[in-house]
Structure 1
Amino acid sequence: MLMKNFIVQLPRGLQARHTALFVRKVSSFKSEVILSKSGKVANGKDIMKIMDLVIKEGDEITLVVHGFDEQAVMETLKKYLSNLT
Structure 2
Amino acid sequence: MLEAKFTIEHQAGLQARPAALFVQVASRFVSRIWIAKGLKKVNAKSIMGVMSLGVRQGDEVTIIIEGEDESKAMSAIQRLIASNFSEVPHNNASS
Across the two proteins, how many residue pairs are aligned to each other? Answer: 85
Structure 1 residue aligned with 2:72: 72
Using the aligned pairs only, state the percent identity. 38
Structure 2 residue aligned with 1:56: 56
* Structure 1: gaps (5+ residues): none
Structure 2 residue aligned with 1:18: 18
TM-score by length of 2: 0.83
| CA deviation map 1:39-66 (0-9, x unaligned) | 1111011110111101111110000000
RMSD: 1.2
**Which protein is bigger by CA-based radius of gyration?**
2
Deviation at 1:20, TM superposition (A): 0.9
* Structure 2: gaps (5+ residues): 88-95
TM-score by length of 1: 0.92
Deviation at 1:10, TM superposition (A): 2.1
